[in-house]
Amino acid sequence: MTGTTPQTSATPAAPGSPGAAAVPATPAAPAIPAAPATPAAPATPATPAAPAIPAEAEALLPSVAAFYLDLHRHPELSGREARTAARFAGWLTAAGYDVESRIGGHGVAGVLRNGPGPVVLLRAELDALPVEEDTGAPYASTVPGVMHACGHDAHLACAAGAASLLAGARERWRGTVVVVGQPAEETLSGAEAMLAGGLYERVPVPDVVLAQHTVPLPAGMVAHADGPLLAASATAEVVLHGRGGHASAPHLTVDPVVTAAATVLRLQTVASRETAPGEPLVLTVSALRAGGAGNTIPDAATLEVTVRAFSARAVDRALAAVRRIARAESAASGAEREPEVRVLSRSGVTVNDPEVTQAVRRAHQEAFGAPRVGPWQPSMATEDFPLFGDAGAGVHGVTGIRTGYWMLGSVGPRQWARAGRGEGDGRGAGREEGDGADRLLAAPPGNHSPRFLPHVRLTLGTGVTALAVAARAHLAGPAGAG
């Protein structure tokens, strides 16, 4: 990790309460690793002081950190999360939850009933990405080509810690807590699979569903949005057909690689020339596959294209443009077969319930202080999280479920200070233009980068507390409370 991760001293187990389940027993936690020493740097900007972590989360931090480090070392791809699911189920069981497993694949759900009151669901993700880790961390992935590059290991560890925190202080709330580990979020298929697999028949139907996501903001911070938070998206596979042959006789072929190259270039105009300047829309060709031998022109080339926007209509319009351009470039190349365009996944806009957002923001301000609770501008990233609420009523058949989602900072103080000097992962270095904020946001490695690595102590301590206090904000108060 670029910045130093402070060591945590040994702390006692979280205090129990009468009738409360014990905090799960875990092996002695290894010391939270510190990053290699950072070379001496100019005094400005100064390294900010590390934010304090609330005491109840601090007490759980060694066991939560050990859980996180284990998950980070052993990532699993979407749909293959058997070990991760078993580890999460084991934690929830030890914390006193009734656990349901194998929901829509490797999905896990734990239920803790604590008298009459609202039902609050906390959701985290199980899966990792097909990315080769390049962090240099002593706890880096041991699986070649697979990495927790989006922070799902941190999300899961925070959910585990919050589950234990709530179980260990049941005298402070009434109602039911449901904690879910969702598979296959990266393929945007896991939420639907769990819901279609009967999640809301196997656990109590929630009144509120809550989740958080790591982002390259300062660790110790959380950020909230009013209105749209994340974009809608669609990912399409485009197969462009040609006529293969020997590389020495291209005149006897229809080269699909040339067709693919022209298609990639023309697709860039969907955002720049077909979309109004004030309308956010991103189109990305993230994969191009063709051929396998240097002396052979292949029969076909395949593109994967993702479009993102803040309305279903804009996504539909962009997909129509993808189909039109693929057909036109195929015709211009003399292809004898029409291209095939298949939508692989689709997601809707993530929009929080306003009352949930207000309640969670207020709970976070009380827990962390107002300076550590910031605003979040809408992002072109996407999620299948909305399906747990009313957006998924067509799948789970329930209406009236409110949702809340916020961002969790993950960049340590020293790494953030280095970013201010343009010393991040190389993207910010050497830039002379732009203000300080541009350089800060450009420098820290972001989600899906092979160098993305959350600050362990601050990310987990803040994330555990953020989930727990957000849940309590929507549960009933103790019996007899006014």
- What CATH number has the domain bearing residue 282? 3.30.70.360
Provide the residue range defining the domain that includes 331. 232-347
Indicate if 113 and 157 belong to the same structural domain. yes
Indicate if 322 and 468 belong to the same structural domain. no
What token pair was written down for 314? 């804009």
State which amino acid sits at residue 479.
A
As a whole number of angstroms, the distance between CA 384 and CA 447 comes to 17
Residue 103, H or E segment: strand 98-103
Indicate if 77 and 223 belong to the same structural domain. yes
Assess if residue 480 is contained within a domain.
no
As a whole number of angstroms, the distance between CA 407 and CA 298 comes to 45
Indicate if 76 and 179 belong to the same structural domain. yes
Q: Is 264 exposed, middle or buried (0-12, 13-18, 19+ CB in 10 A)?
A: middle
pLDDT at 20: 35
> How long, in residues, is the chain?
482
Assess if residue 5 is contained within a domain.
no
Say what the pTM is. 0.84
As a whole number of angstroms, the distance between CA 310 and CA 348 comes to 8
The one-digit pLDDT tens for each residue of the chain (482 residues) are 333 333 333 333 333 333 333 334 443 444 444 433 433 333 334 445 567 777 888 889 999 999 999 999 999 999 999 999 999 999 999 999 999 999 999 999 999 999 999 999 999 999 999 999 999 999 999 999 999 999 999 999 999 999 999 999 999 999 999 999 999 999 999 999 999 999 999 999 999 999 999 999 999 999 999 989 999 999 999 999 999 999 999 999 999 999 999 999 999 999 999 999 999 999 999 999 999 999 999 999 999 999 999 999 999 999 999 999 999 999 999 999 999 999 999 999 999 999 999 999 999 999 999 999 999 999 999 999 999 999 999 999 999 999 999 999 999 998 888 776 666 554 443 344 444 444 545 578 999 999 999 999 999 999 999 999 999 999 998 876 55
Cβ atoms within 10 Å, residue 170: 21
Indicate if 340 and 236 belong to the same structural domain. yes
Domain finish residue from 347, 382, 407: 347
State which amino acid sits at residue 156.
L
Indicate if 334 and 384 belong to the same structural domain. no
Assess if residue 35 is contained within a domain.
no
Instruction: Tell me how many domains the chain contains.
Output: 2
What token pair was written down for 110? 């734990």
Q: Is 185 exposed, middle or buried (0-12, 13-18, 19+ CB in 10 A)?
A: buried
Indicate if 319 and 338 belong to the same structural domain. yes
